[in-house]
Every structure is written in structure tokens, then in C-alpha cells.
Structure 1
Amino acid sequence: MEDFTLFIVRYLHVLCGVMWIGILWYFNFVQIPSMPKIPDEQKPAIGKVIAPEALFWFRWGAAGTVLFGLILAYLNGYLHEAMTLQMPSIGFGMWFGLIMAFNVWFIIWPAQKIALGLVEADAALKPKMARRAMLFSRTNTLLSIPMLFSMISAQNATGF
């Protein structure tokens, strides 16, 4: 039963992580670079339909990834060691993930709500918040590379 529980928690961690990082990379490698090419009359479909839906799954993918990752580390008995960087190969990945999740929930999402007009705000604030969300999204994209390396190398190799 313990092996099955570990398998399910790891599976949910990876499933949520694929959703989170997949949407992060979609935003940064597809949507943001494509926006200047989209005719102005079609842009509301992105801002009012696609982006809010993608941001929903983006946020909850981040939350699920962190939740199941912490549970997995606890069940495997290395949560404390990883969080205190006594196990740096996993610990750095966990810290990058936590920083990224913080950015999602407390910087990117609040800024996107303003940029997309989902909450009331001064119209002059929208471009500033769009830029803030984009910059922190790009930061998360950069952090995702060593985070993924750290997590995968810890599972598949020794000596890293």
C-alpha cells in the first residue's frame, strides 16, 4: 500500500507540474510572442476567454505541484533535508518551485487580473501590470530550467 501511495502522489505531482510548466511555456514561447501578430479586433478573445482560462489552470497546476511535491518529500522522509539544502540536488529544485509558485499566486495572478480587466483598476495601470506579469512569467520560465534539471537529475543520476 505504501508503494502505491507514493506512486499516486508522485504521479499527481508530475501531472500538476506538466500542466503548470506547460502553460508557463505556452505563455512565454507562444502567446506573448504571437500577440503583436494578432489583429486588434481578435485580441479580446485572448484577453477575455483564453488567458483567464489558461491562468486558472496555471495557478492551480502550480498549487497542486507544490502540494503534492511537499507531500512526496515528507512521505519519502527528505522534506526537512531538502528544504534546508542538506540535499541540494532536490532542495534547490524545491526552492525554485516554491519561488515560482509564490510568483504565480502573489505577483503574476494579481497583475494579470488588472491587466486583463478582471478587477477594477485605473486604465493607466493595465500596461504596467501586464509588463509586471510578463517579466515575472519570464523569470519563472528561466527558473523552470534549473528546477527541472534539479528534480530530474536527483531521480536519475548520482554525483550532480
Structure 2
Amino acid sequence: MNPLASIKGVWIAGLLVSVVLAMIVNLAGGNGLLAFDELAFVRWVHIVAGIIWVGLLYYFNFVQMPAVAAATADQGGPGPAAIGKYILPRALLWFRWASLVTWGAGAWYLVQNDSLLDVFTLGLTGGDPDYALPMGIGVWLGTVLLINVWFVLWPNQKKLMGLAPSQGEADLAKAKKTVASVARINAVLSIPMLMFMVAAPHGIPL
């Protein structure tokens, strides 16, 4: 069976390649074939999920929203219905759950690293301020993004997709405006979020 023929196959193949390469690196480093680093594993999950989450955020803002606007304005074209019916629900599914996995894996990493409280208090309770302050800013920005995804964007998207009741055209128009505005806000906040999360171990590039 060709693993590239399905999304599940791609995930399985990617994980298998990762495990095989990790084993090779472990052997080359003299650490044993199945050496397991929980912190490294959680960080890996955090990064992969974060790429999916932020990648879809940028897709919505930089690709789908302009494309829907262009399709709506094209009087002789196919219209945006296909995007709303086939693409948007799947994209939102991956988007929502990737955000939750990203945040959860990141929080678990900080717990295992004994730095959750220091990071969330921006270093005011202790820890290395050169790590806790920038990481804390990144974590709080990510938390705002997560809240927006689940408690602002998703409830309004459900109205627009007919998955939740609305109060008529005015309510739908308000939901559409809210989704567009909050998606843009999340896109803006994601840029400093990524900078500060990388800054904690590597320094602020300014």
C-alpha cells in the first residue's frame, strides 16, 4: 500500500522515518538504540502541532479570505461555495485541535522543565529572567490565540457554517465580521509570539 495515498499514511510514514532517524542518531551518539528523552519528545509534538496551527492561521488570512473575496466578486466564476463546504470544515478541524495540542504540549514541557509558574508570571516568581520573561510573553500571546480560536472564532464559524443557530442575517453578518477581525488579530499576535518563543533560548533578534 502506498503511504502517500492517504493522510493517515503520510502521518505513519513520517513518524516511522522520524523514529528510524532518531535511532540512527542515538546509536551514533552512543546513547543506545531506544534512548528516550521525554522533554525532547514533548517539544517535538509542540513544534509539529504549532506549525499546523500557525500554518493554517496564515492560510486562512493570506490565502482563503482573499480567495473567497475574489470568488464572490467574480460574477461568472464558480463562487466560494466549494471552499465553505469542503475545505473550511476540515481546515477548522485541524486548526482547532492543533491549537489545543500545541498549547497542551507546551504547558506540559514547562511543567516537566519546572518552569511553568516562572514563565506564566514572566519571571516574577523566580527562574532565569532571560528565559522566563521572553518565553512568558510568547506563552501569554499563545494563550490569547488559543482562547480566540475556541471561544470566539469557533462559535462564530459554527453559525456561518450552519452548525449552530443564528438570529438571522444581521447575526450572521456580525459573526462574519467577528471571524475576519479576530483572525487578523491572531495573525498579528502570532508574529511576536513566534519571535518571543524562539527568543527564550536564542535571544531577541532586535
Matched position secondary structure for 1:121? coil
Contact residue 196 and residue 204 of structure 2 kept, 8 A: no
- After superposing the two structures, state which structure 1 stretch, 78-87 or 114-123, moved more: 114-123
* Larger Rg computed on CA atoms: 2
Contact residue 46 and residue 101 of structure 2 kept, 8 A: yes
Runs of 4+ that moved beyond 4 A: none
1:159 deviation in Å?
9.8
> Hey, what does 1:21 align to over in structure 2?
54
Residue type of the alignment partner of 2:162: G
Residue of structure 2 aligned with 1:104, choices 138, 145, 149: 149
Residue of structure 2 aligned with 1:68, choices 105, 109, 115: 105
Identify if the C-alpha distance between structure 1 residues 159 and 53 changes in structure 2 by more than 3 Å, giving closer, same or farther.
Answer: closer
Q: TM-score, normalised by structure 2?
A: 0.73
In 2, distance between residues paired with 1:6 and 1:23?
Answer: 26
Q: How does 1:51-130 map to 2 (within 5 A)?
A: 51-86=88-123, 87-124=132-169, 125-130=171-176
In 1, distance between residues paired with 2:68 and 2:45?
Answer: 32
Say which structure, 1 or 2, has more relative contact order (CA 8 Å, 6+ apart). Answer: 1
Residue type of the alignment partner of 1:85: L
| Paired residues, number | 160
Deviations 1:88-121 (A, max 9, x none): 1100000000010000000000011111222232
> Hey, what does 2:37 align to over in structure 1?
4
Q: TM-score, normalised by structure 1?
A: 0.93
2:73 maps to 1:36: no
1:15 deviation in Å?
0.6
Structure in which a larger fraction of residues adopt helix: 1
**In angstroms, what is the RMSD of aligned CA positions?**
2.0
